[in-house]
Amino acid sequence: MKPYYEDEAVQIFHADCREVLPLLSDVALVVTSPPYNQADKIDRGRGRTARWHRQANTAEWYEDALPFDEYAAQQAEVLNLCADTLNADGSIIYNHKPDHVGRRVNHPIDWIRQADRCALVEEIIWHTPTMMAFNAGLFVPNHETLYWLCRADSKPRWPTREAMMWGSVWRMNVDREASWHPCAFPRELPKRFIEAMSEPGELILDPYMGSGTTLRAAMDLGRKAIGIEINEEWCAKAAERMSQGVLL
């Protein structure tokens, strides 16, 4: 498959990640955050998620309001495909929020447990004091979870000793670097995982590339990177971001 963008460090593919992942191997680290399957909140008409989807216009490029069982099966499939790309001690960092509907929760653990080629190692909490999602009747969520997974048939590389001292709750604000994207990672978030769990020259993967923050962090840290994104507009903007000089 021909890349949408390619340089000496980065490849970007404009595609459904399920088409590209079977072609990849020897990945040291996956860092990714898929769309959260909450486009139905547009119809409910309130909250940050509704604004997210109106701004991103997701209805034109991504079916992000699937029945829960279908979405869970899709995400389990993607996680298994990611696991298949990993080298022997590689890891997956998977960011996802629970979906609260009618005082019930659809939780990422539900489909992580379905991904039988993955094993859950640990959870890292991203505390986001400037990004609170208001939901009537609930304690106001101001964090997201990053799930550290590895291949079910292997053990992951341990983080560096310095990284272990960061603890399991990381406090950082949302991204202002890629302001055109409605929910980009802060660059420090993938940067920490890449520093802690890979070596220069190794391959980093983001199958839901979005704004390209994971790729940009990998590139700046001397790693190789592959990103996959189904939205061509975001591919173009991420490619432009990759073509800039190293960000210090």
Q: How far is residue 40's CA from residue 43's CA, in Å, rounded to a whole number? A: 6
State yes or no: pLDDT of 59 exceeds 90.
no
Alpha carbon 4 to its chain's center: 20
Let me know if residue 248 belongs to a domain.
Answer: no
Question: From the centroid of its chain, how far is CA 221?
Answer: 18
Complete DSSP assignment for 166-208: T-SEEE-PPP-TTTTSTTPPPTHHHHHHHHHH--TT-EEEESS
Domain count, the chain: 1
More confident residue, 66 or 189: 189
For the ranges 28-37, 65-74, 89-98, 170-179, which has the lowest average pLDDT? Answer: 170-179
Q: Percentage of residues in the chain with pLDDT exceeding 70?
A: 79
Does residue 182 surpass a pLDDT of 90?
Answer: no
Domain hosting residue 229, numbered range: 5-242
Flag whether 37 is in a domain: yes
Low-confidence winner among 69-78, 98-107, 114-123 (lowest mean pLDDT): 98-107
Residue 14 is encoded by which pair of tokens?
């404009």
H-assigned helices in the chain: 17-20, 41-44, 47-56, 68-85, 108-112, 161-164, 188-197, 213-220, 232-242
pLDDT at 27: 98
pTM across the whole model: 0.86
Is the pLDDT confidence value at 57 over 60? no
Q: Which of 27-31, 39-43, 107-111 shows the lowest per-residue confidence on average (mean pLDDT)?
A: 39-43
Burial of 235: CB neighbours in 10 Å, binned 0-12, 13-18, 19+? buried
- Tell me the pLDDT band of 96, cut-offs 50, 70 and 90: very high
How far is the CA of 102 from the CAs of 4, 125, 238, in angstroms?
Answer: 41, 25, 37
Using pLDDT thresholds of 50, 70 and 90, give the confidence band for residue 45: very low
Burial class for 70, CB neighbours closer than 10 Å (0-12, 13-18, 19+): exposed
Return d(Cα 95, Cα 124) in angstroms, integer. Answer: 9
Name the pLDDT band for 61 (thresholds 50, 70, 90).
Answer: very low
The pLDDT of residue 248 is 41
**How much is the pLDDT for 38?**
63
Is position 25 within any domain? yes
Are 27 and 11 spatial neighbours (Cβ–Cβ below 8 Å)? no
Question: Range with the lowest mean pLDDT among 31-35, 87-91, 240-244?
Answer: 240-244
- Answer whether residue 159 is part of any domain: yes
Residues counted in the chain = 248
Residue 247 in domain: no
Residue 244 banded pLDDT, cuts 50, 70, 90: confident
Q: What is the CATH number of the domain that holds 74?
A: 3.40.50.150
